[in-house]
Amino acid sequence: MTDRTPDTADAAHDPAADAAAVLDLVTGGVVAQTLRALAELRIADHLAGGALSAEEVAERVGSHPRTTYRLMRAAASLGVLTHEGDRRFGLTGRGRLLRTDLPGSLRSLVLVQTSNAHWQVWKHFPEAVRSGSSQATKALGADVFEYYARPENAEEAALFARSMGDMSALVTKEAVAAIDAADVSTIVDVGGADGQFVLALMEANPLPRGQVLDLPHAVEGARREAGKRGLSDRFSAVAGDFFTEVPPADLYLLKTILHDWDDDQCATILRNCRSAVTEGGRAVVVEMLIGELGEPDLVTRADMGMLSITNGEERDLDEFDALFAATGWRRSKTYPVGGGYVGLELVAS
């Protein structure tokens, strides 16, 4: 047997501290479900006017006073609520993000991430690592997008669409400010759900006609949103499959699309856009980027979510550039667009 002299890291090893850290990590599911309960009960909405006692909240939402207090106490320890004394709680900045229909709200995202589809698939995560692919079909009987397309899952699909719209709100304002679309004639939002991105660009630029290309269950929401904004005369929503073809355009928007798919599928989407783009046209990819290896990084956790739920992945900048080069594109600009996302502007190479 070979003797081993402990290195500096071993000498500094603190078993009690390490155990506490792992226990903190393993309760991530508890944190998620705590946020879900807050969102389901709309507690942030009830606290929007000021601090309330747990008993007052329980009366308003129809919940048990003692367990409501315990929930709110846990939320205060997470920095989502404040404790004002006498069992009264208020909202922190984080807590405001659980309000309903508030610009920048993450309530729908919390509910989606803890919903039946996501939660059931996570049970099979070790197998996803072993096999190299998502186990969504094993858990749900279909991949997650087919699951959302089923009529019996319409409510969950609508929640997913709302969460994507809320995420758009985190990046749309800065992205619209960064994208020069003044002389663009046609913009296609590829997989654009309810069209928040393209509609915001149309509001900022009076010339372009906009279009959403998405699955049949998603496009009606885009038409309604265009109507609400008074943009129906310049807008259309087309049910289609971006793996087959995309409509011609001067500018393609691909916001949080590529991370849903593996490299071969991403290459198909990008090639279809490259084949259909008009002369001198562009594409804008909006995604998060994986940062320095070994540093705290939300994006690497998001990457585990992509492995679990889809067959996609988060990528670093070199990996994106390789995809672009292989499909006839070249990255010409890179800029932050808020919420931890970046815009990657592409031109035909």
Which residues are known catalytic residues? 259
Q: Both tokens of residue 152?
A: 């019996």
Other Cβ atoms within 10 Å of 225 Cβ, number: 21
Is residue 254 within 8 A of residue 284, CB to CB? The reply is yes
CA distances to 82, 94, 116, 242, 325 from 257, rounded to whole Å, are 37, 27, 22, 10, 18
Residue 337 phi, psi dihedral angles, 5° rounding: -130, 15
CA atoms of 274 and 2, how far apart (whole Å) = 59
Q: Exposed (0-12), middle (13-18) or buried (19+): which is 117, by Cβ within 10 Å?
A: buried
Q: List, in sequence order, every residue forming a beta bridge with 237; answer none if it has no partner.
A: 212
From residue 348, how far is each of 24, 188, 244, 271, 325 by CA, in Å? 47, 16, 20, 11, 10
Q: Exposed e or buried b for every residue in 303-336, given b needs 16+ CB within 10 A?
A: bebbbbbbbbbbbeeeebeebbeebebebeeeee
As a whole number of angstroms, the distance between CA 199 and CA 201 comes to 5
DSSP-derived letter for residue 193 is T
For residue 257, give the nearest of 272, 269, 273, 245 by alpha carbon.
269
Instruction: Specify the DSSP element, H or E, that contains 287.
Output: strand 277-287
Taking alpha carbons only, the member of 114, 52, 125, 46 closest to residue 87 is: 52
